Structure 1
Amino acid sequence: MKKQMKVTLIVIVAAIIVAAAIYIVRYIKSGNDLLTPVGTRAEFVGDTDKYPSMLRTKGVQIVNAEGEQVVLKGVMVPESHRLYDEKNFDEGFYKKVFDMGGNVIRVPVDPAEYKNDDYYMWRYLDRIVTWAGESGKYVIIDWDYTGNPIDGSGDEMPDISENPLDYSAEFWKNTAEYFKNTPNVIFEIYNEPVGMSDSEWKRCADSLIGVIRDAGAKQLIIVGSPDYCYDLGWLDELGETNNNTAFAVHVYPDKVFWQKFISGYVTSYPIIVTEWGYTDDDVKVKNEKLKGTRNVFGIKFSSYLKKHNVGWVASSYDYKTEPSMFKKNYKNKTKWGEFVAELLSEDE
């Protein structure tokens, strides 16, 4: 019996040693960045005096603390947990993003991933904001819901039980309280509202803006538009705008009359294109609505934005999410990716 107990004990100890070895190997291979809590704080801590200054609206312009106009230009990166699964969530990955040029990145936060990870704020957003701030970049935190925030309808809504509007309010309360003194952070309250009236969306937007302001955050807020963030017509009934808010529009090649739909607004409101892009003939496309070319869509649209000093974020610095800027594993740019790189290098 004693011999059997001894053998059992040896087996248990051996198993513990093997598990510890695997843990250490994972730790080393992941660049000392294990998927474990990194320590929680009530508020972001960083050398923010060296970060870009907080932005605000001034008429149709967005300006910095010195009153100088800032035209935001950059790319949307993949969702953070997915990057971790790919072993790409580290400072080196974001340095490559920053090296492309521009002054902002858009960071989508998947509500389902956020719900499944109590440490999402500290594990991902804290680090991204730090890396961006140290590189002189702004970060748009995009709450990546697509659908109706009131009743939860929509084919692209995450499979979670929480009411989207209530859960959005919870997210923004926590996020705004945490980053309220972080100057390079911008809040995009809801990715793409769908299936609701203008007045319904206005009530939702006002409530989420109120949550952020009640948390003490004074940073720029970006508010999307109904119809997958394309229909700016709701601004006609907006009335007095909320303090320090800009308005988002998403434009892809299937919106052939985009100039007609946005021209009346870029001269009246601070507008930011937080998604745009196309898929050229060098890669296969799943979504036919994204098919486009440099000459027919890319040059025409980017020239229009430049003429009106409208900021933009290109979608996507990715090889999976269409329109992709890379063909495989963040290597070998697509024609679209090459075009974005050219645009971002213009101001360098």
Structure 2
Amino acid sequence: MRDHDTTGSDRQSRRQFLKTTGATAALAAGLATVGTAAARGIPTPRLHRDGKWMKDPSDNEVTLRGVNVVDPARAKETTWRRAIPRVVEHATDPERDWYSRVIRLPMQPADIIEDGKGNGARVDPGGFSESKLQTYLDDYVQPVVETTREIGVYLILDYHRHKSQELEYTDPDLHDELMMFWEVVASRYAEEPHVLFEVYNEPISPYYGFRERGASAEVANPDDENAEQTWLDWRAAAQPWVDTIQANAPEAPVLIGSPRWSQWTFWSSIHEFEGENLAYTGHVYGHPGLRPLDEYFGTPAEEVPIFMTEFGYEPDDGETAEYMAGSNEKEGQQFVDFFESHPNVSWQVWCFDHIWAPAMFSKDTGGPDEPWELRSGPLQHGQFFRDYLKETRSDRLPEGDGSTTPGTTPGGDLDPVDGTVPQDLDGDGLHEDLSGDGTLNFPDVNQFFQHTDSAAVQDHPDAYDFDGDGTVDSQDVLALFEMV
């Protein structure tokens, strides 16, 4: 299956359409079929925690579903990779059946130090200065923040260490690196309501059972005081990093991992960290030792917000590690069943790439302008989770709060139209974005058509007089249609 990175087709111009179809009557008939077709983006107001849920400013329950991408420095435009802003556009493009509502962006110390070379992701803490970090943010992260803001998709900024089991999360040099990292990153993006912060991707050791042959995540059970102490030790080490984020970005949600590759999520609801708007992460792939998912991740999800910020699997080719092997029928369905039974769990599937495993695409050799091949079939999770993203694309999304993304003008004293305050996208006084998603598209025309005669519209004629004749009627619907 080809999931093309380029779109574009010859479309009949909208003006010609109007000339050939009989104006208002034809438009009305056409809008009946447009319905509420999804736009590329969604409203991205600041989220806050309420019990086990993340909620929007109107207290609607929100679930964020999407994908992981690779480190933005590693993804520099080359003959075999695409820059992350372009990848984000792909992952949110409904014309290619992609409906990611959140993007998780790994920021690897190895890539900050080596400027995209990665060095196997095994680098000692303290290897980059504040100046080096600022340069990395300028060159690679800032374009992603801007792209996700403009499209209308949430962004998780993730401090991404995960390979060295010898590096303990109690290491003093690691502590200093994390304090500096989050002082810089959190303060820089504190005013971006669509940005969430993930403290530490996968702190590994120490944990109860570390270095024991065959040690399993199963030691993190509710009956073992040693396992409980592991969580308490982790909390003591990580609390200052959480505090640093919250001191610099007090309104932003903070996602917190756990020892052994963020697999001890169980304890998060029993011994919470201190702070506001905290959620907890879980990482699981094919891991047979972490089944059933309800026990290890569903138990805490009954009390606290859980983000499954990494999950997936790949075919067992005889060399695949047991913890990575899986199929759509078994592991894929287990994930779907888990998400359906715990609707407050947000999830970000790994990985919207053709190399970082388990990859959702096949590696191409034709260069960045060639189409990526989406992996499909009973043992591939690429198409499986693209289809699930499409299926859940409208479930528990945030609503606009009357504020807008940069470049738009708020509705001021306008009344909500079908629950959303329309936005002025270009500052001309006309509020063409009736759905409040930051773009002008056919759902806006449909919403305007359905509510042209409503008091919310008729009481504010200056905001909707798209044809400039001083009244708001069907001709304004036609004028808005021509603007799409």
- How does the TM-score come out when normalised to structure 1? 0.77
Maintained 8 Å contact 1:176/1:217: no
User: Who is 1:206 aligned against?
Assistant: 239
User: Who is 1:332 aligned against?
Assistant: 373
Maintained 8 Å contact 2:293/2:338: no
1:60 is the counterpart of 2:68: no
Change (3 A) 1:147 1:204: farther
Unmatched runs of 5 consecutive residues or more in structure 1: 1-49, 155-160
Distance 1:192 1:103 in 2: 23
Secondary structure of the residue that 2:57 maps to in structure 1?
Answer: coil
Bigger helix fraction = 1
Distance 2:381 2:185 in 1: 33
Maintained 8 Å contact 2:190/2:252: yes
Residues 275-334 of structure 1: CA deviation (Å, up to 9, x unaligned) = 0111136x7864342110111111122122122111100000111111110111372212
Residues 189-244 of structure 1: CA deviation (Å, up to 9, x unaligned) = 00011113212210122111111122244200000112210112332552564211
Maintained 8 Å contact 2:72/2:84: no
Supply the AA of the counterpart residue of 1:228: W
Secondary structure of the residue that 1:82 maps to in structure 2?
Answer: coil
User: Who is 1:225 aligned against?
Assistant: 258
Change (3 A) 1:209 1:162: closer
User: Who is 2:162 aligned against?
Assistant: 146
Maintained 8 Å contact 1:223/1:245: yes
Unmatched runs of 5 consecutive residues or more in structure 2: 1-41, 116-131, 207-229, 365-370, 394-484
User: Who is 2:27 aligned against?
Assistant: none
Q: Percent identity?
A: 24
Supply the AA of the counterpart residue of 1:168: L
User: Who is 1:317 aligned against?
Assistant: 352
Shift of 1:180: 0.7
Distance 2:82 2:162 in 1: 25
Distance 1:308 1:90 in 2: 30
User: Who is 1:163 aligned against?
Assistant: 173
* Larger CA Rg, structure 1 vs 2: 2
Shift of 1:148: 8.0
Shift of 1:146: 2.1
Maintained 8 Å contact 2:254/2:277: yes
Maintained 8 Å contact 1:280/1:336: no
Maintained 8 Å contact 1:176/1:215: yes
Distance 1:270 1:65 in 2: 17
Secondary structure of the residue that 1:250 maps to in structure 2?
Answer: strand
Distance 2:75 2:315 in 1: 25
Shift of 1:345: 0.6
User: Who is 1:109 aligned against?
Assistant: 107
Change (3 A) 1:148 1:65: farther
Secondary structure of the residue that 2:156 maps to in structure 1?
Answer: strand
Choose from 337, 341, 355 the match for 1:307: 341
Change (3 A) 1:80 1:240: closer
Residues 11-44 of structure 1: CA deviation (Å, up to 9, x unaligned) = xxxxxxxxxxxxxxxxxxxxxxxxxxxxxxxxxx
Change (3 A) 1:190 1:346: same
Q: Bigger shift: 53-62 or 323-332?
A: 323-332
The equivalences for 1:29-48 within 5 A come to none
Secondary structure of the residue that 2:66 maps to in structure 1?
Answer: strand
Distance 1:216 1:139 in 2: 15
Choose from 72, 86, 93 the match for 2:64: 72
1:81 is the counterpart of 2:73: yes
Change (3 A) 1:213 1:199: same
Supply the AA of the counterpart residue of 1:96: H
User: Who is 1:193 aligned against?
Assistant: 203
Shift of 1:162: 8.4
Maintained 8 Å contact 1:146/1:192: yes
Supply the AA of the counterpart residue of 2:283: H
Distance 2:179 2:310 in 1: 23
Distance 1:233 1:272 in 2: 13
Distance 1:90 1:321 in 2: 14
Residues 143-164 of structure 1: CA deviation (Å, up to 9, x unaligned) = 0012689x8349xxxxxx9822
Supply the AA of the counterpart residue of 1:134: E
Supply the AA of the counterpart residue of 1:124: Y
Distance 1:182 1:176 in 2: 10
Secondary structure of the residue that 1:53 maps to in structure 2?
Answer: coil
- How does the TM-score come out when normalised to structure 2? 0.56
The equivalences for 1:259-278 within 5 A come to 259-278=294-313
Q: Bigger shift: 328-337 or 53-62?
A: 328-337
Aligned residue-pair number: 291
Distance 2:269 2:46 in 1: 28
Maintained 8 Å contact 1:273/1:311: yes
Shift of 1:182: 0.6
Maintained 8 Å contact 1:277/1:336: yes
The equivalences for 1:233-312 within 5 A come to 233-235=266-268, 237-239=270-272, 241-254=274-287, 255-280=290-315, 286-309=320-343, 310-312=345-347
Bigger strand fraction = 1
Supply the AA of the counterpart residue of 1:344: L
Maintained 8 Å contact 1:51/1:134: no
Maintained 8 Å contact 1:53/1:183: yes
Distance 2:240 2:172 in 1: 17
Q: Bigger shift: 266-275 or 77-86?
A: 77-86
User: Who is 2:149 aligned against?
Assistant: 133
Maintained 8 Å contact 1:77/1:106: yes
Change (3 A) 1:303 1:333: same
Distance 1:52 1:83 in 2: 25
Supply the AA of the counterpart residue of 1:276: F
Distance 1:69 1:285 in 2: 42
Please report the RMSD computed on the Cα atoms of aligned residues, expressed in angstroms. Answer: 2.4
Change (3 A) 1:144 1:268: same
Supply the AA of the counterpart residue of 1:181: E
Change (3 A) 1:125 1:342: same
